[in-house]
Amino acid sequence: MKEEELKRLIGKYYSGTSTDEDERALRVFFSQNIAPHGFEAEWEMFRYLMSEGEVPEPSADFESRIGMAVASSGKGERSSGFRKLLVPMLSAAAGLLLLTGTYFFFARRDQPQDTYSDPKIAYAETMRILTEVSNRMNQGTEPLKSVGKINEMKEISFESINRSASIVEKNLKSLRYLRKSGELDSSPGEKAQN
């Protein structure tokens, strides 16, 4: 089957205007073992439809049964006066319960009490705790000192490289100057030999 004919039949199939003969021709074409280039999706679809067999046509009263099912689904939901009152009442009760619980949570919380009656003992304990925290922080930052040393070594290396580069640049300027002065002093025959 030519590609133009295949595209026309597939277009009719998707638009729902294909005949039984058109669909039979498509099934025969797509029954090949290899999917034609550009029609892989249709090949898969027709292979699936062929493996499932014929799709039965819906009965004559299919649409009317669907319409009746949709219409009857809305009738089952009757709204009574009790239900209309129940939802707001439950909402108000939940809000009241939430407010009461919040009040008791914050109002009845135990206030922190002093654990030391002597201010000197409290001060000494605070200093002990702060010293311990300081020691632990110093222990934690100890490994970072090597990072600082690496940074110092980097700076020293860059300074050394910069000094070397300036010495090389100075010597190159001297060589350029000597080359220029040597070219001016030499005769045209000597330049040709060089």
Residue 157: which domain range?
149-185
Q: What is the pLDDT along the chain (194 residues), one digit of tens a residue?
A: 788 888 888 899 888 898 889 888 888 888 877 777 888 888 888 888 777 766 677 788 888 888 888 877 765 555 566 777 888 888 999 999 999 888 888 877 666 666 777 888 888 888 999 999 888 888 877 777 777 788 788 888 888 888 888 888 888 888 888 788 776 555 555 555 54
Residue 160 in any domain: the answer is: yes
pLDDT for the residue numbered 130: 92
- Residue 94's pLDDT is what? 92
pLDDT at 98: 92
Q: Report the Cα 75 to chain-centroid distance in Å.
A: 46
Is residue 25 situated within a structural domain? Answer: yes
Instruction: Please tell me the total count of domains within the chain.
Output: 2
Task: Provide DSSP, 26-86.
Answer: HHHHTTSSSPPTT-HHHHHHHHHHHHH-PPPPPPTTHHHHHHHHHHHHHHT----HHHHHH
Residue 120 lies in a domain: no
Residue 136 inside a domain? The answer is: no
Instruction: With respect to residue 40, please indicate whether it lies within any of the assigned structural domains.
Output: yes
Residue 125 lies in a domain: no
In our burial notation (b when 16+ CB lie closer than 10 A, e otherwise), range 130-141 reads eeeeeeeeeeee
Q: Is the pTM higher than 0.85? A: no
Could you tell me if residue 49 is inside a domain?
A: yes
Rounded Cα distance between 155 and 163, Å, is 12
In a domain, 61, yes or no: no
Could you say which DSSP state residue 110 is in? P
